[in-house]
Amino acid sequence: MLVLHTLPLPAEVRETFLSWRARAALARAWHQLNADLLALAEEHRGMVGQFYDCSYAMHRGLADMYLADERFTKNYEDLASGLAQWVHDAIHANADRHPDQQGQGFH
C-alpha cells in the first residue's frame, strides 16, 4: 500500500492535486448554491400563489416583467445591483425544471 503523504510530491503534482481539490470544493459549493437558488425561486412562486394561481408559465411571465418594466426593475435594483436579472434567471431556471407543469401564462 502506498501512502502518498509520506512521499515528497513534485510541486507540479502537488499543485494539480490541490487544483483538483479546489475544483471539487467549488463544484460542491456551486451545486448547493444552485439548489438554494431554485428553492428561493419556488418559494417566491409560492408567495405569489397566495394571491392568485401562479403556474410556472405565469411565474416566467412575471420574471420577464421584472426586466421589461422599469418600475419592477427599479424595485429589485434598489435592493442590490443586478438583482432583477438574478431573480429573472432563477425563476426561469426553476420553471425549466418542470416542463410538464407549465400551465397557463398571462391572458
| Interval 40-57: pLDDT, tens | 999 999 999 999 899 999
State the pLDDT at residue 79.
95
Fold of the domain spanning 28-101: Globin-like (1.10.490)
Using left for φ > 0, alpha for ψ between -120 and 50, and beta otherwise, residue 103 falls in left
State the pLDDT at residue 7.
60
Q: Average pLDDT, whole number, for the chain? A: 84
Helices (H), 49-105: 56-68, 70-79, 83-96
Residue 36: all three cell numbers together: 438554494
What is the rounded distance in angstroms from the CA atom of residue 82 to the CA atom of residue 84? Answer: 6
Task: Look at 79 and 7; give whichever has higher pLDDT.
Answer: 79
pTM of this prediction? 0.70
